[in-house]
Structure 1
Amino acid sequence: MTYRIAVVCLGNICRSPIAHVVLEDRLAAAGLDHRVEVVSSGTGDWHVGQPMDPRAAAVLRDAGYDPSRHRARTFDVDWYAENDLLLAMDHTNRADMLDLAPTVARQSQVHLFREFDPEASEDDDEVPDPWYGGDEGFALVLAMIERTSDELVRRLPDLITP
């Protein structure tokens, strides 16, 4: 049985695609890629079908990842049935996702991505949106996503039901 993780941001062209690519890489390195599948989406539909932001793709490429397969998708109510763990990049994305939950019980699937970040704190628990800033924001987001993905993969065996 495959465990499915969805990473979700606003437009699915910056943060969630970076997380998607990095998390898949970390799962493969840990030998869990045959048991865990990763998908990504955005709560908004402005970029559906588009590749990731060129700055996001560049920061990934420069770090040795392949960003070429990504095409933006939109989060909808079906993602609750299709995925086991739904990870929002920020509180606004989380609220939008919770608004679409088909039942109150399904809301328990939604968490902030940085809940797995060993450096996160109560007042610093979001992945900032680098879209409006410069290249340095994308590098910061990549570093944050890499360390969070490492911890998530380390904890996955406890999350995956046999």
Structure 2
Amino acid sequence: MTSILMVCLGNICRSPLAHGLLESKLPSDLFYVDSAGTANYHIGDSPDQRSIAVAKTHGIDISQQQVRQFKISDFDTFDYIYVMDQSNFDNVIKLARDTDDFAKVKLILEVDTSTLDKHVPDPYYGGDSGFENVFKLLDKATSIISQQLLS
């Protein structure tokens, strides 16, 4: 089974959306998708209500996800680790033990060659439109990832 991890800062806004989106596009008998945060602010909580709401408007239920923190053993568990921005990338890479760990980590928007800015903006302190924008960015990126994984 191929396993994919989505990572952002708190695991309440961006990575839960990426997790739910990619999970909805891949067969669950062949792929395992999860998400985590680099910080420990919200461990055990549900995703931000705004992320839950924007996902729901697009037919995806992320309400049952629970926040967890990224850990070194995730390098052993996951084949691919997609991070939302450079800060997340740097925090995950600091924990890499070797070049194999390092090679698993990528900025999620690197898969979308039409997007110039490779960082998914953090919508936490913005309004609802920021969550919709993040959803659209991640929807496109996860479509590309799923096509790559299924080909």
How would you bin the TM-score normalised by the shorter chain? over 0.9
Residue matched to 1:114:
109
Query: What stretches of structure 1 move > 3 A for 4+ residues in a row?
Result: none
- Describe the superposition over 1:1-48 as per-residue Cα deviations: whole angstroms up to 9, x where unpaired: x01000000000000000001111111xxxx32111101000000100
Residue matched to 1:3:
2
- What amino acid sits opposite 2:81 in the alignment? L
1:2-151 correspondence runs (5 A): 2-27=1-26, 32-121=27-116, 124-151=117-144
Contact kept in structure 2, 1:118 and 1:151, CA below 8 Å: no
Contact kept in structure 2, 1:4 and 1:82, CA below 8 Å: yes
- Describe the superposition over 1:64-86 as per-residue Cα deviations: whole angstroms up to 9, x where unpaired: 11122111000010100010001
- What amino acid sits opposite 1:22 in the alignment? L
Question: What's the CA shift for 1:118?
Answer: 4.0
Distance 1:99 1:91 in 2: 12
- Describe the superposition over 1:64-113 as per-residue Cα deviations: whole angstroms up to 9, x where unpaired: 11122111000010100010001000011000000001223320110011
- What amino acid sits opposite 2:68 in the alignment? R
TM-score of the two chains, using structure 2 as the length reference: 0.96
Cα-Cα RMSD: 1.1
- What amino acid sits opposite 1:132 in the alignment? Y
Aligned length: 151
TM-score of the two chains, using structure 1 as the length reference: 0.90
Residue matched to 2:149:
156
5+ residue gaps, structure 2, are none
Distance 1:38 1:101 in 2: 20
5+ residue gaps, structure 1, are none
